Amino acid sequence: MTDPVGATPLDPDEQDGLKIKSIETRAELDRYEQANIQDGLRWLKRQKTPEVLSEAFMRRFHQQLFGQVWAWAGTFRQTEKNIGIDPLGISVELRNLIDDTRYWVEHATYPPTEIALRFHHRLVEIHLFPNGNGRHARLMTDALCRVCLGAAPIDWLQGADNLESQSEHRSAYIAALRAADRGDYRDLLALFD
Ligand SMILES: Nc1ncnc2c1ncn2[C@@H]1O[C@H](COP(=O)(O)OP(=O)(O)O)[C@@H](O)[C@H]1O
Ligand SMILES: [Mg+2]
């Protein structure tokens, strides 16, 4: 299975965590994951007052989005990836992100969309899980918009079919995240504001 640019390849032991042994192609995997994500979104709808800005919620939500497909869903990554910080730093960096985001929300440090996009970037930059970080972090950001910011969700697709397969829009999204890695949020804001 070949991954699109900006995706996280899985280690062999992570691939062993595939719960549905009949899956052989990327397309089949995508379909199972997509179905699981729909169930995860139904789970989210049933949560009346989710504590979005907490480690417990972020893990639980990943588990709900990917737990039918991957045994390690909801469990923090223990291996180094091409994206993301040292796995040993994940809990601390997530704690910092949660504290920073609470502060931004409370003090309206930035406009709501900018808070959402800064949160999104930092979450994928930490890269909590072996896989599914992009999808989880986009849906987490939508939950942040609704529950904490009282704002409309980000229009992630901007008219594209999806953000998972290679496209001009995905390339622009990944390039904007890379600029944000260097502290420059302008492209990310221009793309989604
Ligand atoms: N340079 C980068 N800095 C921060 N995040 C990035 C960077 N490159 C890619 N990403 C994020 O990582 C995601 C890919 O990680 P992955 O765990 O494979 O998620 P998914 O399986 O949901 O696509 C991309 O969708 C994007 O959100
Ligand atoms: Mg991936």
Q: Which residue has the tokens 């901007």?
A: 158
- Distance, CA of 15 to CA of 86 (rounded, Å): 20
- Encode pLDDT of 39-58 as tens digits: 999 999 999 999 999 999 99
Domain assignment of residue 2, yes or no = no
Instruction: Record the tokens describing residue 191, joined without a space.
Output: 């793309």
What's the confidence (pLDDT) of residue 1?
60
Q: 18-22, 24-28, 29-33: which range is least confident on average?
A: 24-28
SS3 assignment, position 99: helix
- Encode pLDDT of 112-130 as tens digits: 999 999 999 999 999 999 9
The closest-lying atom of ligand 1 relative to the alpha carbon of residue 130 is 17
2, pLDDT greater than 90: no
Gap from CA of 105 to ligand 1 centroid (Å): 24
Domain assignment of residue 158, yes or no = yes
CATH number for the domain harbouring residue 138? 1.10.3290.10
For residues 133 and 149, is the Cβ–Cβ distance under 8 A? no
Structural domain that includes position 113: 12-192
Q: How confident is the model at residue 4 (pLDDT cuts 50, 70, 90)?
A: confident
SS3 assignment, position 70: strand
What does pLDDT average to over the chain? 95
Q: Which ligand is nearest to the CA of 8?
A: 1
Domain assignment of residue 34, yes or no = yes
Domain assignment of residue 76, yes or no = yes
What's the confidence (pLDDT) of residue 119?
98
User: Pocket around ligand 1: residues whose beta carbon is below 6 Å from it?
Assistant: 6-8, 83, 124-125, 131-135, 137, 164, 174, 177-178, 181
Domain assignment of residue 164, yes or no = yes
Q: Which residue has the tokens 């999204």?
A: 173
- Distance, CA of 144 to CA of 148 (rounded, Å): 5
Say if residue 40 is exposed, middle or buried (CB neighbours under 10 Å; 0-12, 13-18, 19+): buried
Domain assignment of residue 173, yes or no = yes
Instruction: Record the tokens describing residue 146, joined without a space.
Output: 């609704």
Based on the structure, what is the number of domains in the chain? Answer: 1
- Encode pLDDT of 159-192 as tens digits: 999 999 899 999 999 999 999 999 999 999 999 9
Q: Locate all alpha helices (DSSP H) within the chain, ordered by sequence.
A: 12-15, 26-46, 55-66, 90-107, 112-126, 133-144, 168-181, 186-192
The closest-lying atom of ligand 1 relative to the alpha carbon of residue 3 is 18
